[in-house]
Amino acid sequence: MIKEETIDSAVKALFSDIRFPDEPAGLYDPLRYMIAIGGKKLRPRLCLTTYSLYKDSFGPEILEPAAGLEVFHSFTLIHDDIMDRSPLRRGVDTVWKKWSPDTAILSGDVMCIDSYSRVAKAPRECLDEALELFSRTAAQVCEGQQFDMEFESRETVPMDEYMNMIGLKTGVLIACAAEMGALIGGASAEERSSLYEYGYNLGLAFQVADDYLDVFGDEKVFGKPIGGDIANSKKSWLTVRAFEKAEGGAAADLKRAMAMSVETAGEREEKIAEVKALYQELGVGRDAQDAILRLNQKALEAALKVCDGDRFIVLRDFARRLIGRTY
Amino acid sequence: MIKEETIDSAVKALFSDIRFPDEPAGLYDPLRYMIAIGGKKLRPRLCLTTYSLYKDSFGPEILEPAAGLEVFHSFTLIHDDIMDRSPLRRGVDTVWKKWSPDTAILSGDVMCIDSYSRVAKAPRECLDEALELFSRTAAQVCEGQQFDMEFESRETVPMDEYMNMIGLKTGVLIACAAEMGALIGGASAEERSSLYEYGYNLGLAFQVADDYLDVFGDEKVFGKPIGGDIANSKKSWLTVRAFEKAEGGAAADLKRAMAMSVETAGEREEKIAEVKALYQELGVGRDAQDAILRLNQKALEAALKVCDGDRFIVLRDFARRLIGRTY
């Protein structure tokens, strides 16, 4: 096993030392920018964590694939931000906004390719399995984004479809990170599949928590303005659950509130307040907390199939740090 | 060795049998569309051809990577067409035009990922080398597109920079196809590198021929309206060479002609006629034919390092079919 502090400093070193080609700068500068503006590096951290259950030290055969998962995630953010017309990410300009949509397309492409170069550094004896896991996951992430975009033009979405969408868009890459670490660490097929399940449920919990915090979070901790999903009429776990619970008048109120325009700051505030009040009336914030707890529980049950004692504590603590802020 | 007819029918079967997931249709339909609208399938054909120098039959370990090269090429076309605002490809709507730019971005992404899934079917014993070759090539193709876009805002481009750009944008993927077939066929490192050189020079010749045919070709054979590069003020081998040769007045004439607007069909015709006349005065059409011959010669010299007799004839004929129409 490898200590948490060692994992922390390995993740830090991984991204402060990460190198992309210098030229053409117009192509590669956005890659450096995306890595520099940070984020939690959740996926490489999880990958190194599950690897640490099996091994005692890190080498390039795990560090490079772990970095590849983050590079891939950043690539999807660059392209999602074009499609979602998001001007800001982590408080700074998105790539398409800072450079141009064309640059964002092409730099995203080369970032996707770069992620494969890194995953391809997995050890020879499990390279085909690592690539199969990664490619299957990568395609699913695109499928998730497709469903997410298709949801925009639908008035309501059933909960099972919503969960399937966030499973594809967020769950599978976190699951892949957990399984990748185990695979390269030498885990059995059974252990790998349980760790995938751990990661998948953790990913779902993480996304529901994100949806929850977007409405009920603390702006300083959350890192972006509260109410963004509501202002943009974006479907979230809370909307989906609210329409599931709302009857008659409440459903009509919710539809009307979600359709309010947000041309001015005042209108924006009003819309957020109104939808939030309806959420509170329907109790969907509490429901989200319950859902997060249940998903966390499922993740931990999957983890228990693989390990106990100190090794289980590692996985429990990882989950706690990730979603502990919401329940 | 494998006969040409067998290669032909293998290529045909490869793309009539190719499968992408059914759902979400909004994501995967554009992939089926791109493959269906055809093209010469030059890259898989070359990959199977160099493989055929070493082996006597095809299996999935070569067919899948060969298909992956075409899928990757199609992915770059989908994204290039967004960046170049091209409404037509092979006489039909481009993906962004038929669906939307967002769809073209995301379907392109999943097509890139699909290409990796196929290349990853290379045999275990050379999988890491196949992936390294493919990822290096894929990044270079993006670099080529970046340089191509940067050239748009420059008045003139030196010939060495132009050749480097088409080398990246077109040469390396054809070179990669030639080397990939050899690699999976079991060729030595030296043979692989010579076949790479064969493919690279063939790719350059192919691009110069494309630039030549865009002005001096027969519309029915070329498959798209003649003069497109001129009408769009796009830098081509002919423009670059013309500016290299033009002195004083001729250079000024060329700049003026290239800057002519093409709002109406009449203006378009006039601009094409004017630039074409200047090209003829400067003799750049003849220069292009010479350049194509020289590059073809270099390709064949590289091929001769690897083989002679019947096997050389295969490579010579491949080159002849590809660029024979221009000289």
Residue A209 contacts residue A292 (beta carbons within 8 Å)? yes
Q: Which residues of B touch A135 (CB under 8 A)?
A: 113-114, 116-117, 120
Residue A175 contacts residue A194 (beta carbons within 8 Å)? no
User: Of B265, B220, B217, which is closest to residue B238 (Cα–Cα)?
Assistant: B217
pLDDT > 90: percent of chain A: 89
The mean per-residue pLDDT over the stretch B168-186 comes to 98
User: Of B71, B92, B66, which is closest to residue B81 (Cα–Cα)?
Assistant: B92
Domain B4-187 has CATH 3.30.230.10: no
Instruction: Supply the pTM of this predicted model.
Output: 0.96
Q: Residue A38: pLDDT band by 50, 70, 90 thresholds?
A: confident
Instruction: Give the pLDDT confidence of B99-147 residue by residue, as tens digits.
Output: 999 999 999 999 999 999 999 999 999 999 999 999 999 999 999 999 9
Residue A92, beta-bridge partner list: A89
Residue A278 contacts residue A239 (beta carbons within 8 Å)? no
Substitution target in B71, B118, B127, B143 with the highest count of A β-carbons within 10 Å is: B143
Q: Backbone phi, then psi, for B85, in 5-degree steps?
A: 55, 35
* Count of helices and strands (H, E) across chain B: 17, 2
pLDDT > 90: percent of chain B: 89
Instruction: Give the pLDDT confidence of B14-30 residue by residue, as tens digits.
Output: 999 899 999 999 999 99
Residue B35 contacts residue B15 (beta carbons within 8 Å)? yes
The mean per-residue pLDDT over the stretch A107-128 comes to 98
Query: Domain residue spans in chain B?
Result: 4-187
Examine the pLDDT at A327 and tell me if it is beyond 60.
Answer: no
Instruction: Give the pLDDT confidence of B55-101 residue by residue, as tens digits.
Output: 999 999 999 999 999 999 999 999 999 999 999 998 899 999 999 99
Contacts of residue B273, defined as CB under 8 A and 6 or more positions apart, other chains included, come to none
The mean per-residue pLDDT over the stretch A132-138 comes to 98
Examine the pLDDT at B249 and tell me if it is beyond 60.
Answer: yes
Q: What angle do CA A119, B128, A114 make, to 5 degrees?
A: 35
Instruction: Give the pLDDT confidence of A197-248 residue by residue, as tens digits.
Output: 999 999 999 999 999 999 999 877 777 788 999 998 999 999 999 999 998 8
User: What is the ipTM, given to two decimal places?
Assistant: 0.95
Instruction: Give the pLDDT confidence of A52-71 residue by residue, as tens digits.
Output: 999 999 999 999 999 999 99
Closest-CA residue of A relative to B150 is A26
Examine the pLDDT at B325 and tell me if it is beyond 70.
Answer: no
pLDDT at A192: 98
- C-alpha pair distances (Å), B264 with each of A318, B261, B267, B268, B276: 64, 8, 5, 6, 18
Q: Which residues of A touch B101 (CB under 8 A)?
A: 101
pLDDT at A302: 98
Peptide bond into A123 cis (omega under 30): no
CB–CB contact B120 A110 (8 Å): no
CB–CB contact B127 A132 (8 Å): no
pLDDT at A219: 79
Amino acid at site A83: M
pLDDT at B327: 54
Nearest by CB to residue B113, choosing from A21, A135, A149, is A135
Residue listed under structure tokens 């894929």: B138
Buried b (16+ CB within 10 A) or exposed e, B217-241: beeeebeeebbbbbbebbbbbbbbb
Instruction: Give the pLDDT confidence of B198-219 residue by residue, as tens digits.
Output: 999 999 999 999 999 999 998 8
Cβ-based contacts under 8 A for chains A and B: 114
Amino acid at site A241: R
Examine the pLDDT at B323 and tell me if it is beyond 60.
Answer: yes
Examine the pLDDT at B225 and tell me if it is beyond 90.
Answer: no
- C-alpha pair distances (Å), A168 with each of A34, A198, B83, B96, B282: 22, 15, 28, 24, 58
Residue A107 contacts residue A78 (beta carbons within 8 Å)? yes
pLDDT at A39: 84
Q: What angle do CA A212, A80, A167 make, to 5 degrees?
A: 50
Examine the pLDDT at A137 and tell me if it is beyond 70.
Answer: yes
Pairing of strands A92-93, B88-89: unpaired
Output the average pLDDT for chain A: 95
